[in-house]
Amino acid sequence: MKVLIADGVSQEAVDILADFECVKKDKLSAEELLEIIPEFDALIVRSASKVTAEVIAAAKNLKIIGRAGVGVDNIDVPAATARGIIVINSPGGNTIAATEHTFAMMMAMSRNIAIANETLQKGEWNRKQYTGVELKGKTLGVIGMGRIGSGVAKRALAFDMKVIGYDPFINEERAKDMGVKVGTFDEVIETADFITVHMPKTPETEGMINKDVMARMKKGVRLVNCARGGIIVEEDLRDAVLSGQVASAAIDVFTSEPIPADHPLLGVPGITVTPHLGASTVEAQIGVALDVAKGIKAALNGEPVMTAVNMAPVSQQVMNVIAPYFDLAERMGCAVRSLADGAINKVEVSYKGKLTEVNTKMISTAVIKGMLSAVMEKTVNYVNAPAIAKERNITITETKEEDVNRYENLITVTATTAKGEVNITGTLFAEKARIISINNNRVDLAPTNYILIAPHINRPGVIGQVGSIMGAANVNINGMQVGSTTEDKSLMILSLDNEVPADVLKLVVNMDGIFDAKVINFNVL
């Protein structure tokens, strides 16, 4: 078999593929790649080569595409999946590099290393001007406790820092093992002396650190972002540093890269910047190449590949039965994540009807995919979703019962947190997803766009007041359901066309007669 290495990788990676014919063609043009791809069984790229649908269509023998890195934006994954081509990446190959760069940025920022070096190189001796601060005894807030965030927390503890972490999926048991205190987002931003961001860029996290959030932080807080550009609003950060609300910041990633000469974070005293160097170490570049080479070798030898980012193959017979339920299952997972109070530690997926006669593991995986995709990168998929859940100590179970009475099939998802359970039941009507129960309350709604769910006291005026708040905020209500849950308590469900701004949702939550209000955003899927 033949392997095309379209972008340069380490010799160590090439050595792993010694059983195959490896052809190195660095810096191929799109036309050249299209011309030669038909003869190859495997393709390795970094970020330079673009594996388009046209390239995939021409790849008559291609079995696997390996991206030596984390992102797969330069690969048309749906086109590859449709052709049965495995796409793999290296999700953990640069973890140490990104972790160490984050800590290096925090150290450099706290001791003014970049500016002190720059001015000393010019012959200036500004010892007093660049007095720094110590890390010992300070509280580090870690927003996002995945592999990199956890690694930063571990190193911070070694520096005698106190660590408080926020992550939608971290639970008390895992945090206790790490020596980290679990906090809400508000607790982290309001108590930390240093804050480092390690969340993926999603519709929910984009702009999550803005001027209003920074205004609630301790005066003199220090911020680090080595995760994704756009999570911190760059103009707001500049203003906060200039005003002294934020003492300093260290930024490695930007909304648009490369950045222009007039970028708002350039030339601002107190802001340290680097050109997206988080994964730029010799070891990381070798590590991602080795990961991909091992995956290529396994796939070409017919063995399982653990880092595949597209759907694992199933028989056509089973796929015909389960495929119509994937979208419903993802949306139910998204819904329970939005409604759950605290970190989810257990998910039970219950099936009734004809679905009990087939392997439903992929539908359960779709539930987890939807749950995780609401707060993580879009690369969460049918292969890695179970592993991500396991990494976060989330237990996944299935139960089956044949009798469903009036429905051909029913799926119920129950999510458990330390504070209780939430459950949602769904089915298909005319092949379209419907949610028919929320927390054992009968409903009938299409899981699309935005859904506001608000338990409230059963008295006149409450529903009208919520409608008025939505109208004043230009949030259109396209459907409403109200049902009594107890004698004095009702459940209001509004189907909305627009996103509900945080301040508008807060108005609803604080209304007299409203017990709680949560929004499910299905557009993150």
Instruction: Say which of 31, 257, 431, 487 is annotated catalytic.
Output: 257
Angle between helices 361-373 and 326-339 (to 10 degrees): 40
3-state secondary structure 401-470: ECCCCCCCEEEEEEEEECCEEEEEEEEEECCEEEEEEECCEEEEECCCCEEEEEEEECCCCHHHHHHHHH
Lookup result for tokens 């006149």: 460
Instruction: Using alpha carbons, list the distances in angstroms from residue 157 to 37, 184, 189, 194, 250.
Output: 50, 20, 19, 13, 20
Identify the three-state secondary structure at position 55. Answer: helix
Told to judge if 155 belongs to the known catalytic residues of this protein, a careful annotator would answer: no
Task: Tell me the sheet residues that pair with 64.
Answer: 42, 86
Burial of 251 from C-beta contacts in 10 A (0-12 / 13-18 / 19+): buried
Instruction: Using alpha carbons, list the distances in angstroms from residue 45 to 8, 42, 64.
Output: 8, 10, 11
* 116 neighbors 130 (Cβ within 8 angstroms): yes
Rounded to whole angstroms, the Cα distance separating 407 from 389 reads 30
Burial of 258 from C-beta contacts in 10 A (0-12 / 13-18 / 19+): exposed
Instruction: Using alpha carbons, list the distances in angstroms from residue 449 to 469, 520, 525.
Output: 19, 8, 10
Residue by residue, DSSP assigns 72-120 as: -TTB-HHHHHHTT-EEE--TTTTHHHHHHHHHHHHHHHHTTHHHHHHHH
Instruction: Say which of 111, 147, 276, 434 is annotated catalytic.
Output: 276
176 Cβ contact partners less than 8 Å away, ≥ 6 residues apart: none
Type of residue at 391 = E
Told to judge if 190 belongs to the known catalytic residues of this protein, a careful annotator would answer: no
Q: What is the CA radius of gyration of the chain?
A: 25
Nearest to 210 by CA among 259, 246, 257: 246
Instruction: Say which of 46, 174, 222, 228 is annotated catalytic.
Output: 228
Told to judge if 276 belongs to the known catalytic residues of this protein, a careful annotator would answer: yes
Rounded to whole angstroms, the Cα distance separating 111 from 194 reads 13
Question: Which residues are part of the catalytic machinery?
Answer: 228, 257, 276
